[in-house]
Amino acid sequence: MFTCVLTCSPDTPVIETPLVEALRNGWGGGDARWLNRGVAAEFDLGVVPDTLDKTRAEMDAMDVDLNVVPRDGRRKRLLLADMDSTMIRQECIDELAAEAGVGDRVAAITARAMNGEIGFEGALRERVGLLAGLDAGVIDRVIATRIEMMPGGAALVATMKAHGGRAALVSGGFTAFTSVVAARLGFDWNRANTLLAEDGRLTGQVADPILGREAKVTALEDLTAEMGVDDDAVIAVGDGANDLGMLTRAGMGVALHAKPAVQAEAGLRVNHGDLTALLYLQGYHREAFLDGV
């Protein structure tokens, strides 16, 4: 059995009863249930419809995300999350590059790497090299003035933890940022790359080994082993090509406002909702949400 979940942005609740009922009737689903009226609804299905991709595209044009998940085992024990453009709105390296006066150049490399057009490790080394000589104190200023949490992130982490889950922030970015974001949002663990500095200035190098796609899979393996659960107990979320390994291994792998190449491979997609959509995918009602740490 499966469950069809419709979600949209909480800021623009566009899901109406006729839309849900039309889809339910067309697919021969069970009774529709509201998880948050106007924002999230669901109904059960016997099989995944052949018209899923076509219908998903139609819903996408209406600013509605359509996903189908297995009905059993929906609530996950471990949240494994990317940071840049996932738990925060920005790409940290792009913000540092803007301070160094090479913002456009670095942002272009970032976009290509996140869409899988170029290798992540080489792209990271190239971008970090362009930061050589930057005052390391700029990191704190960027965190204070440029970094914004992605809407719904605090509620996602707090609600899962309140129901016995744990949360790990696993980023191809930098520990100087993940440590702050993890503490702010209540993550249990964080892993990322380390920017090297000497005499208060960035050297243009990053410590080895580089944490990229395979390291995120390794984090999934390590943490599930530590918790004594299997891959199906994990919900993973990310937006870039280096997230695909963990997205395809996890019981639920969610591409959040993701690059085209990632959306093409990810099983679940959220293009319009915020991070609370991951709670609706797990069957949580809005009334069960916690606001955060």
d(CA 241, CA 249): 14
DSSP-assigned letter for residue 227: H
The residue type at 207: A
DSSP alpha helix (H) spans, 130-174: 138-145, 153-162
DSSP string, 256-270: ES--HHHHHH-SEEE
82 assigned to active site: yes
Which position among 60, 63, 82, 243 bears the catalytic label?
82
CA neighbours closer than 13 Å in the CB half-sphere of residue 239: 21
Closest by CA to 265, choosing from 141, 153, 115, is 115
Sort residue 260 into left (φ over 0), alpha (ψ -120 to 50) or beta. Answer: alpha
274 assigned to active site: no
Do 155 and 66 meet the contact criterion of CB atoms below 8 Å apart? no
Which position among 84, 239, 243, 274 bears the catalytic label?
84
Active site residues: 82, 84
